[in-house]
Amino acid sequence: MSEETAVVRRTKSANCAFCGKLVRRIKMYYRNGKYYCSKRCFKKMQEKIAKEQAETEAGT
């Protein structure tokens, strides 16, 4: 089960999963089921998720 499939949907726009900015389809990054306005936001989100996961694992 892979969530990394880069599916391009016929959506006009979406909000960046990290900064919430409206993303136009032409410069949209779709990764792991979420949209990002830029590669930078994608990287930031990955860092955030990694950090949260590390904290969750540490807490158990």
Q: Residues touching Zn ion: how many (CB under 5 A)?
A: 6
Q: Kindly indicate which of the ranges 3-11, 18-26, 27-35, 50-58 contains the residues binding Zn ion, using the contact rule CB under 5 A.
A: 18-26
Q: Which two tokens stand for residue 52?
A: 């949260």
CA distance readout (Å), 25 to 9, 31, 55, 56: 9, 13, 34, 34
Interactions with Zn ion, residue window 24-53 (CB under 5 A)? 37, 41
Q: Kindly indicate which of the ranges 1-9, 21-29, 45-53 contains the residues binding Zn ion, using the contact rule CB under 5 A.
A: 21-29
- Alpha carbons within 13 A on the beta-carbon side of 60: 5
- Binding footprint of Zn ion on the chain (CB under 5 A): 16, 18-19, 21, 37, 41
